[in-house]
Amino acid sequence: MTTFPEEVLTRTKRGENEVRSLIDRGRYVRYNYLHPETGQPMEGGKAKLVLLAESGKIEEFFVIPTKSGRDLLIHAVEKGARKIWDGTQPVDV
């Protein structure tokens, strides 16, 4: 059995111990969708979260607000290179 340092252990709601274990690290891009004529957020307020791991792996998720105030995260197909608007110009994701 492996012994883990105390600082990586946490407790579940049931009181069981578990270890926080790194999957990967990197950077992220989060963007929302605007109406092309008004520049206002589209109805519903969904956003996209793109996780860019140091290994080069890319994962994409839609972040969808729910009526309960919590967000629903749905895995999305990776779409490849694209541009997003940063408020003044198109930039790479």
pLDDT in tens, 7-48: 999 999 999 999 999 999 999 999 999 999 998 998 888 999
Question: Residue 81's pLDDT band (boundaries 50, 70, 90)?
Answer: confident
**Residue 79 has what pLDDT?**
83
* DSSP letters spanning 11-67: E-TTS-EEE------EEEEEEE-B-TTT-SBPTT--EEEEEEETTS-EEEEEEEE-T
Domain ranges for the chain: 23-92
27's CB contacts (< 8 A; 6+ apart) are: 52
75, 64 Cβ separation under 8 angstroms: no
Q: Check pLDDT > 90 for residue 78.
A: no
Asked if 53 and 24 touch (Cβ cutoff 8 Å), the reply is yes
Longest dimension (CA), the chain: 61
Give the pLDDT mean for 63-73. Answer: 93
Q: In the chain, what percentage of residues exceed pLDDT 90?
A: 83
